[in-house]
Each structure stands twice: as C-alpha cells, then as structure tokens.
Amino acid sequence: MNAPHPHNSRSHGIVVRKIPFAFDEDISPVWNDAQPEWSHMINGASLTMPYLEPFLIRTVREILPKLTDAGLREDARDFIAQEGQHYQNHRAYNERLKANGYAELAEIEAEMEADYRRLQKKSLRWRLAYTAGFETMTIGVTQWLIGNRRKLFAGANPSVVSFFLWHMVEETEHKTVAFDLYQAFYKNYWARAWGVYCGSRHVVHYTRKAYKQMLKKDGRWGKLGSRLRLAKMEAAFLIHVGKYLVASILPGHHPKHVRDPDWVTQWMHAYADLPENHIPLLDTKHPDIPARFEPDKA
C-alpha cells in the first residue's frame, strides 16, 4: 500500500450525537401495523448492524495511523464514533426483537459473528473496498427511505421511526468518508466496484434471511397476500437503491455528487442544539413526518 501524499484537507464537521434511543420492553416488532412485511424488512436490516458496523469500525481504525491528511483523519475518527453509536442502539433494539417473539434470530446473529470474523482476515484493501461499497449502498437507502417517508413510516411507532431516520441522517453526514479513505490509499477502480457488489450483497443476504425467519414465525411467509406485498416492497428497494449502486460504479463517481435530501438538512438544523442523552422523537402522526420533536402533549 502506498501512503498518500501529505496534505491537509478540511474535515466535513461530522457531528457525533450520543442518543440513547429507548424502546419499551413490550414494543411490538411489527412497529407499523399497516405494513408487517415492511416492519420485518427493517428489523432484518437492524439485526445486521451490531456485526457489520464493528467490522467497518475495525477497518477504518486500522488505517487511521497511516493517514497524513488531517481533515480526512478527523472525518475517519468521527465516522468511527457515529458508527459506534449506531450499532449500540441497534443492539438494544435487537434484544427487544428477540425477547418479544423472535428468539431464533440469535442463530443468525451467531452466523454473522462467525462470518465477519472470517472477513476480518482478508486484506485491508478488500475490507476497505467492502466498507466503501456498503457505505455507497446506504446513500441509495437514505434517499429512498427519506424520500418515501410518508408511505413507509407515517402512523408507525415513533421511537422506531425516529431511530432509523436518525441513522440515515448520520449515514448522509459521513457518506464520503469510506470512499475517500479507499481512494487515498488504493484508487483501484475494479476492486472498488467489486467492493460495492460484495458489501451490498452480503448485508442484503443476512437482512433477508432475518426477515424471512420473522415472517415464517408470524405465519405470513406461506400466505400469498403477504408474499405479494413483500415482493412489491423488495422490488421498490431494488429499483430505488439499485440505480444508486449502478451510478456508484461508473468512472468519476464520488458520493459528494449525490445531493442530500432537504429533510436531512432540516433534521440537522432542528436538532443542532440537541442536549446529550436527549431523544429526538418525530411526529409520525403527521403525514409529512416533519423534522422536529413530537409536539408536547402535556
């Protein structure tokens, strides 16, 4: 690996927010009553995070001592801090999923833990390409979730919605970091393109495995109506996210060229002075789910 030439770019001012999202002990894993299949798709994604994100953190932490660019080094540290907050909150939520009817998910967790231990033995270049590839997919996921928040989240459990959309806001905030790290050290186009495929496919595989198990437990997997609704949602995911993945493997791509949703900027402004350990709870009863606290009902 060739070290990049030393220079000092400006950091992106990534904000590390310590938000201890609270989930009721009896929270229903079907957090959107009108869309149980969609609820479990999100639950499946959540299950992967406490295994995926520590893997990303270890990869970025390994390359930190080699960084000579002060701005990128600061961004990398903030990336690590944000991802650490994410997976800790996901772990708390996943414990509620297992406690409230889906104990079998522990088997998938054990499989993921072993799989990421195996991936940890791969070269740093491969792992950094995987990291940049997965982070590329999150750009498309963020655009889809926030752009379609009315359809996907209106009327749903506010603690779950607020938690997932916060995660997407912060994915937007650090969207360039993994890409910039890869480019700073390797710049191999084909390896990066392969990382987009590997990172996306691997996480989608485990996400689907988890929500399939949950739908089977509910008795929905074998019902035609449920499978059709699921297929429609999966198709929407592939169409909306797939176009960002295709764009990301084109020569000249850089995540900075993807325009952030206006709602993300509104969320950042709304919670710019968020006190530490305070939970920003969105108003999901409002059809637009505005980027602000849920109105005080007192």
* The token pair that represents 221 in the structure block: 């997997």
Task: Write down the pTM of the prediction.
Answer: 0.93
User: Running DSSP on this structure, what letter comes out for residue 223?
Assistant: -
Per-residue DSSP letter, 174: T
pLDDT at residue 82 in the model: 97
Is residue 46 within 8 Å of 93, Cβ to Cβ?
A: yes
Dist CA 255 CA 144 (whole Å): 16
Nearest-angstrom CA–CA distance, 227 and 41: 12
Pick the CATH number of 36-270 from 1.10.3470, 3.30.70, 1.10.620, 3.10.450: 1.10.620
Per-position DSSP letters for 7-26, written without gaps between them: --PPP-------------TT
Q: Measured between alpha carbons, how far is 22 from 88 in angstroms, rounded to an integer?
A: 12
Q: Are 149 and 71 in contact (CB under 8 A)?
A: no
Give the tens place of pLDDT for each residue, 202-240. 999 999 999 999 999 999 999 999 999 999 999 999 999
Confidence class of residue 1 from pLDDT cuts 50, 70 and 90? low
pLDDT of residue 275: 81
How much is the average pLDDT of 10-33? 93
Residue 155 near residue 283 (C-beta atoms within 8 A): no
SS (H, E, C) 76-131: HHHHHHHHHHHHHHHHHHHHHHHHCCCCCHHHHHHHHHHHHHHHCCCCHHHHHHHH
pLDDT at residue 5 greater than cutoff 50: no
CB half-sphere exposure, 105, CA atoms < 13 A: 29
Q: Comparing 6-15, 44-53, 142-151, 159-168, which segment has the lowest mean pLDDT?
A: 6-15
